[in-house]
Amino acid sequence: MKTEDRTRYLLSAFGWQGGTIHQIAEVTGCDSKDLLYAEPKFDYDFRGNYLPSTDYLNGFTAGSTCEPAWIRETLAPKRKGNLEYWFGVMGAFNLRENPSGIGGSWQR
């Protein structure tokens, strides 16, 4: 996933029309470099399929179902510093833009 997409997805998640990765890092409690360049941690099931972490799935669910104000005001303080959670939020917004899963998927 491109760095500019990651930033855009999190800005959208918070309902912001603009901002910087540093402002996002402050709200999420995650390092800006990690938000831009790190990859989510996937495990494998017994068939060798990728499985996201529970925190990632929780973030994905929030990004898929919650209003930006709720994400910003209620969830962000509770999930501060949880990088996997914020990767899940990004994943949900990626899927909104790319319903076919093409164009920025985490999947390898």
Q: ∠ at Cα 53 (48, 54), nearest 5°?
A: 130
Please count the other Cβ atoms lying within 10 Å of the Cβ belonging to residue 3: 11
β-partners of residue 43 are 51
The pLDDT, as a whole number, for residue 74 is 96
Domain ranges for the chain: 3-97
H or E element at residue 90: helix 83-97
> In a structure prediction context, what are the per-residue pLDDT tens digits for the chain, which is 108 residues long?
899 999 999 999 999 999 999 999 999 999 999 999 999 988 777 888 877 889 999 999 999 999 999 999 999 999 999 999 999 999 999 998 887 765 455 543
| Predicted pLDDT at 78 | 97
Which pLDDT score, from 0 to 100, does residue 27 have? 96
